[in-house]
Chain A
C-alpha cells in the first residue's frame, strides 16, 4: 500500500460511515474545516482505496460493480470519509500493525497497535485504537466527506487529483501535538528515528 517512490507523497485512506441497519457503521469521524474530528474516541476501521471500494460495493450496497449500484443509493445514507496522510503515516501503519488476533497480550492491549483485519478481503484494512485514531487526526493534512448519492459519486472517488497539486488545501502538521500523540502510541524508538532521518520530522522525545 505504501508508495516508495516519493517519500514526501501523500496517500489516501478511507472510512465508510452510514448504511442501513444492521449493516451500518457509526459516524465516528466528522470533517471540520477540511480536518478530521473524532466524535467519540473508540477503535475505528480504515482502509486503502481498494478495500474501500470492495467494502462499499459488496458489503454496504451488495452491488458487486459500480454499474450495478441502485439509482436510489442515497437511501443508504453512506458517506466515504477521504483522508490524505503523508506517506510516512502509511509506512508507520503497515509496520506497526499486528495480527487481528494479537489482542490479548497485556502490552498490546494497553498500547493498542493497529490491527490488520480480514486478509480475505481485497486491499488493506486496519482497526485502529483510539490512540491511533488520535495519530490519524494529527497526521491527516486534508480530509473530505463524500456522501454517496449516485454511482457518479463512487466514480469520482476513483478519479482524483494528487493533493500536491493543491498545496493550499494541505494543512501543516502541528509537530508538538504530533510528538505528544506519537508518545502516547508508544511508537518504537527505531521507527521514530526513521521518521526523523528519512522524512525529516522533528519528533520530540517523550512528546516534548
Chain B
C-alpha cells in the first residue's frame, strides 16, 4: 500500500517494546470511535476496509491491540521497504514527499498517542479514557533502528 498525503498515512505502533510501521487509511487510527456522532459512526462503517478492521473495536486500546494487529498485518511495512519507497520517489525527482512523514505514533506501552498530522483533524482528541493524546513531534521518540527516513546518515525527508 502506498502512502497518499492526507489519505493513506504512516503510523507507528509501539507494543511490548517493539515498534512497527503501518500504512493505512487515516481514519483507521481514530482510537475512540465512540466520540463520533451516531451518524458519523454509521458512515464510518460503510467503508469496507474500516469495517473489516475495526469491527467490534470501537475503542482501540491495549485490551484489543493484539486482535487489531492481526487484522492490519497486511498494512505493515518494514523500515527497508519504506526507505526504498522514499528513495524511489526522490529518484523520480518528484518534489512532494510529504506523504512519507510518519503521522502518528500509538504507544500502547505508555498509553500515549502522538500526532504530527498537519491538517485539521485532531487524532489526539480521540483517545481512550486512560490515554493521553499529544499534538507534538515524535521523531525523537523513535529509535535509530526504526527511523526509515534515515539512509546512510542522511535524512531523506529534508
Question: A-side interface residues toward B, CB under 8 Å?
Answer: 19, 21-26, 43, 45, 47, 51, 55, 58-59, 62, 99-105, 117-121, 125, 127
Contacts and interface: CB of A to CB of B under 8 A. Distances in A.
Interface of B: 6, 27, 35-37, 39-40, 43-44, 46-48, 96, 98, 101-103, 116-122, 125-126, 135-137, 157-158
B135 A59 contact: yes
Given A22-B118, A118-B120, A120-B35, 17 more contacts: A19-B118, A21-B157, A22-B98, A22-B103, A26-B96, A26-B98, A43-B6, A99-B43, A101-B36, A101-B40, A103-B43, A103-B47, A104-B43, A104-B46, A118-B121, A118-B122, A118-B125
B120 A23 contact: no
**Which secondary structure characterizes the binding site on chain A?**
loop
Contacts of B48: 104
A203 to B, nearest CB: 30
Nearest to B138: A22
A99 B157 contact: no
Given A99-B40, A101-B27, A55 B120 contact: yes
Nearest to A105: B46
B155 to A, nearest CB: 10
B19 to A, nearest CB: 17
B23 to A, nearest CB: 16
A205 to B, nearest CB: 32
Given A26-B98, A58-B135, A120-B125, A101 B44 contact: yes
Contacts of B40: 99-101
